[in-house]
Chains A and B, each alone.
Chain A
Amino acid sequence: DVKVTQSSRYLVKRTGEKVFLECVQDMDHENMFWYRQDPGLGLRLIYFSYDVKMKEKGDIPEGYSVSREKKERFSLILESASTNQTSMYLCASRASGTGGNEQYFGPGTRLTVT
């Protein structure tokens, strides 16, 4: 079974703080993703990575950065957290070269910025 884990289930941070969200997958997947999920807006892609040290912007990258130093780990960084970044953050991974395009999600981190 694919296992994607996220460092925290719930996180409360103050406006202006630097926030790190960590994601680890144990299936040797090449591709990893960060989404945020908001009521009425659905899932929106923030960034993804197709290899170590490689990244591509998604649909809403503003205010976020990412880091992928090891294949199994993908970090999302909020440089200066703002209240409009309060959301559910979901990490996902996908294998290259086999099967199709299905992505496997972690349990999510519910971030509240006050």
Chain B
Amino acid sequence: QKEVEQDPGPLSVPEGAIVSLNCTYSNSAFQYFMWYRQYSRKGPELLMYTYSSGNKEDGRFTAQVDKSSKYISLFIRDSQPSDSATYLCAMSAGYGNNRLAFGKGNQVVVIP
């Protein structure tokens, strides 16, 4: 079983729709959870960061962590064509841990 599972997509949605992305993981020691956005041929950009369970909102983006189910989600409201990118989840155990476990990325296409 892979440590982090993420559906690669692609996921196509019309402009203005809600985009829902998720990752599941197997290591119950993970406490720190991140979402990165990566545009084509660019480096990943940190989008959201959360610690432990709960929700975090930043503008049109909401990150959710359910540690009991080992499941994290990213929601994008009022999606825009500029949101078309690959979204990677990442997670790690323990404060100061240099090892991140990444999902393979989920490609999102927002159609105008």
Contact = CB atoms under 8 A, between A and B. Distances in A.
B100 interface: yes
A75 interface: no
Interface stretch (A13-21, A36-44, A61-69): A36-44
B88 interface: yes
Contact-residue bracket for chain B = 20 to 34
- Size band of the A side of the interface? 20 to 34
B43 A43 contact: no
A108 B42 contact: yes
Interface string B27-70: 00000101010000111111001010000000000000000000
B98 interface: yes
A101 B45 contact: no
B interface, by DSSP: helix, strand, loop or mixed?
loop
Contacts of A101: 32, 34, 92, 95-98, 100
Nearest to B92: A101
A94 B32 contact: no
Interface string A70-114: 000000000000000000001000101101111111111010000
Leading 8 A-B pairs by shortest Cβ distance:
A42-B104, A105-B43, A101-B92, A43-B102, A108-B43, A101-B32, A107-B43, A100-B32
Interface of A: 4, 31, 33, 40-43, 45, 48, 50, 56, 90, 94, 96-97, 99-108, 110
30 contacts: A41-B104, A42-B88, A42-B102, A42-B103, A42-B105, A43-B44, A43-B88, A45-B99, A45-B100, A50-B98, A56-B98, A90-B43, A96-B96, A97-B96, A99-B49, A100-B32, A100-B95, A101-B97, A101-B98, A102-B34, A102-B49, A103-B46, A103-B100, A105-B36, A105-B43, A105-B44, A105-B45, A107-B42, A107-B43, A110-B41
